[in-house]
Chains A and B, each alone.
Chain A
């Protein structure tokens, strides 16, 4: 029997990812922004100089200065503290929305993609119905029905976000299903459940990861939009979108009330978008079995 010596290629692992990351300044910038936000969220109590809800009517509408780095709003609350605490809420919104929409969307997408036939048709038509509405409009609709507030805003945004995952997963599951390694799993005697969760699902992780990274920013943006028009978070909660909305009436002479929370939203979304883009480039070629 021929015994052959082969020289295997280097294993592609985490060190490789870090090396690749170094080549992309945009991605590094994104990671840095996210890291900063994480720090703010985690250490909010220690980092925030004032109580974000502490009203100080004697110091209303102060411009940014030595004590109040980002100024104060019309109730004398320190904007910097509110921005810092706002990062907690942003992460909460992003994380919960993503988790909910992933759970719902991926389950439906997997079933539709694997089962095919009328199951697929039915599920996809339902998905289409949800996708037919502009996200913001549908969220307003839902909140109009169940009432405003942070929790309800999160639910509404999740309802609007899951169809993307369902579509994504269904398409990917269908194409993965056509691969011969799925047939090989059948041939070896693996059951349907094992094939779906042991083979199809792990190969979906990449598109799901990319989409959820981008959705972190997207969810926060939608929440900000909702708060801006009065749905979503209610006062006095220090959510960035609500802060921008709050500052609307004062924008002519207290620009800092809208500028800083607005900047915070921008950076948060940008950070996740940059990371998501880089992840997309990094994960995709590997999937195609680049030699």
Chain B
């Protein structure tokens, strides 16, 4: 199987300006640095996991990649083409190939549309169906593929449970025959047993259709289970990335280590989760200079406040942005 690069970001920056506030006396408007210079690659056919805590910018990055939000700087390349230069027909074509499943099953479906239309209209929009008959047939096939039934076609979203709605959302994403799907916390609001069903469905579909996934989640164990490669984000930056087994077994960056230590394992024989981390996340409006993690890092050195560490190789398939010579211990 080809392991070519399907999606690539190059120095993507996204800032959100805040409303003017009286506490900020300077003439400049304060800005939230949601994503601050991210360069990563997603390979065709893989599941790339993006993990981090709230406010790290992972959802924003996912939306920038799909050009649902325009970046403040940097490029997004899809199949080698700069997504930001696409217009008209080419842009529409990109939307056909790159889809998204949102976190909230209760807000991501139009409450006034029947399931048949939610799932069938995108196909119509892209010229994949020609008649009402066709649309119904296509919608029915999609529903069946995600484990739903014919009598669900004419129902409204509020008649379904959270898990079923996510299935509908997945069916909608599939309806345009995509290659790449951004999964933004697709199971965070679902029960454990339902989550397992949805994850299984996603994995089956990936095998069947050769899909590439960007799997965004704050659930470390889940990302560890489903991803081939993983990126760990903190305050708008990717601080560690690599093959999932490597990153999880031998986390190199102190923040990753803190995350792994903090993650509760469903096994009472394993040691308690430890706090290797102190304090709270600093503000994304004025992040710390140099390495953003230095205010909470137990291994902080002088250089950490003056120079921002680039991603350095720990192995051929594992990179960490830290000034420490050897991986933190």
Contact = CB atoms under 8 A, between A and B. Distances in A.
Interface residues of A, number: 31
B155 A6 contact: no
Interface in B93-130: 95-96, 99-100, 102-104, 106-113, 121-122, 125-126
A198 B171 CA distance: 20
A187 interface: yes
A169 B155 CA distance: 27
A2 B197 contact: yes
14 contacts: A2-B147, A2-B200, A5-B149, A6-B148, A8-B152, A8-B160, A9-B160, A181-B108, A183-B100, A187-B100, A188-B99, A189-B95, A189-B126, A287-B111
Given A9-B155, A184-B108, A289-B106, 16 more contacts: A1-B204, A2-B200, A5-B149, A6-B148, A183-B68, A183-B102, A187-B95, A187-B100, A188-B125, A189-B92, A189-B95, A203-B111, A205-B112, A286-B111, A287-B111, A291-B161
B68 A1 contact: no
B158 interface: yes
Interface string A5-32: 1101111100000000000000000000
B159 interface: yes
Nearest to A289: B158
The A interface, classified by DSSP as helix, strand, loop or mixed, is loop
B159 to A, nearest CB: 4
Contacts of A252: none
Interface of B: 63, 66, 68, 91-92, 95-96, 99-100, 102-104, 106-113, 121-122, 125-126, 147-149, 151-152, 154-161, 164, 169, 172, 176, 197, 200-201, 204
A287 to B, nearest CB: 6
Nearest to B99: A187
B156 A11 contact: yes
Nearest to B63: A183
A203 B147 contact: no
Interface centre among A5, A180, A205 (most CB of B within 10 A): A180
Smallest CB-CB A-B distances: 5 pairs: A189-B95, A180-B108, A188-B122, A9-B159, A180-B107
